């Protein structure tokens, strides 16, 4: 783990800004779900959304249940998406419930597209999506998120649940990695 700090390039979003934004997102989510029975099921997409969801849910005071999904698109030390693969699911009963999918980052939309499709098939009463980060991409994205924490440039980020080779998830800030990795991430 000694190499860990050497690979960080810079702090993109410090923990205080994240905390402030999470509070605002929770307030918005609370408001939007007030009319719909005030009970929801949160579905964080593991592993990346773990920290974000843990902070977000503690700011929500309505009754809620959890469903879990594990999706991986960056196996091992890759910094380019290999396409999303569903690794595990423990969703519970979603039919007729108000579902909020929570993910760390919306990039190409492959992951959320897969998960939204999967959840929609279970006939929830409503389906919304919340992401902490959204990468700005030239490509037209068809997948939408109802709640977005921050729009960020198209760089590879880690920390606050997001990993590189399954490391860095415990960093409290969102950081960019060393230019060496950033260049690799931008290769076609």
Active site residue ranges: 107
70 binds ligand 5GP (CB under 6 A): no
Q: Which of 22, 102, 157, 174 binds ligand 5GP (CB under 6 A)?
A: 157
Q: What is the DSSP letter of 80?
A: S
Give contact residues for Mg ion (rule: CB under 5 A): 48
Among 42, 56, 119, 162, binds ligand 5GP (CB under 6 A): 162
Q: What whole-number distance in Å separates Cα of residue 160 and Cα of residue 15?
A: 8
Q: Between 55 and 103, whose beta carbon lies closer to ligand 5GP?
A: 103
Burial 161-181 (b: 16+ CB within 10 A, else e): bbbbeeebbebebbbbbeeeb
Q: In this structure, what DSSP letter does residue 159 have? A: B
Are the CB atoms for 89 and 65 separated by under 8 Å? no
Asked whether position 46 contacts ligand 5GP by CB under 6 A, the answer is no
Return d(Cα 56, Cα 170) in angstroms, integer.
16
Instruction: Show contacts with ligand 5GP in window 80-119 (CB under 6 A).
Output: 81, 84, 103-111
Query: Distance between alpha carbon 118 and the CA centroid of its chain, in Å?
Result: 17
Least CB distance from residue 156 to ligand 5GP, whole Å?
Answer: 4
# chain residues binding ligand 5GP, by CB under 6 A: 21
Q: Which does 116 bind (CB under 5 to 8 A by kind): ligand 5GP, Mg ion, none?
A: none
Whether residue 133 contacts residue 75, with contact meaning beta carbons closer than 8 Å, is answered with: no
Q: Segment near ligand 5GP (CB under 6 A), from 17-25, 91-99, 117-125, 153-161?
A: 153-161
Identity of the residue, 33 or 43, whose beta carbon is nearer to Mg ion in the bound complex:
43
For residue 22, the partner it binds in Mg ion, ligand 5GP, none, with Cβ less than 5 to 8 A by kind, is: none
Q: Which stretch binds ligand 5GP (CB under 6 A): 17-25, 35-43, 54-62, 155-163?
A: 155-163
Residue pair 177/7 in contact by the 8 Å Cβ criterion: yes
Instruction: Name the nearest CA neighbour of 118 among 146, 140, 99.
Output: 99
């Amino acid at each position: 783990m000694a190499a860990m700090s050497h690979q960080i390039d810079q702090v993109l979003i410090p923990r205080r800004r994240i905390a402030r934004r999470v509070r605002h997102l929770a307030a918005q989510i609370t408001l939007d779900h007030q009319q719909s029975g005030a009970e929801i099921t949160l579905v964080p997409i593991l592993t990346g959304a773990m920290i974000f969801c843990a902070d977000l849910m503690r700011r929500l005071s309505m009754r809620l249940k959890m469903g879990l999904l594990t999706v991986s698109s960056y196996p091992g030390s890759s910094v380019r998406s290999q396409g999303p693969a569903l690794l595990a699911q423990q969703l519970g009963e979603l039919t007729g419930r108000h579902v909020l999918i929570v993910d760390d980052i919306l990039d190409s939309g492959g992951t959320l597209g897969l998960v939204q499709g999967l959840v929609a098939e279970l006939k929830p009463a409503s389906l919304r999506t919340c992401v902490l980060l959204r990468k700005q991409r030239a490509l037209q994205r068809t997948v939408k998120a109802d709640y977005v924490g921050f729009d960020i440039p198209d760089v590879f980020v880690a920390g606050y649940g997001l990993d590189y080779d399954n490391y860095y998830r415990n960093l409290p800030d969102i950081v960019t990695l060393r230019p060496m990795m950033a260049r690799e991430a931008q290769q076609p």
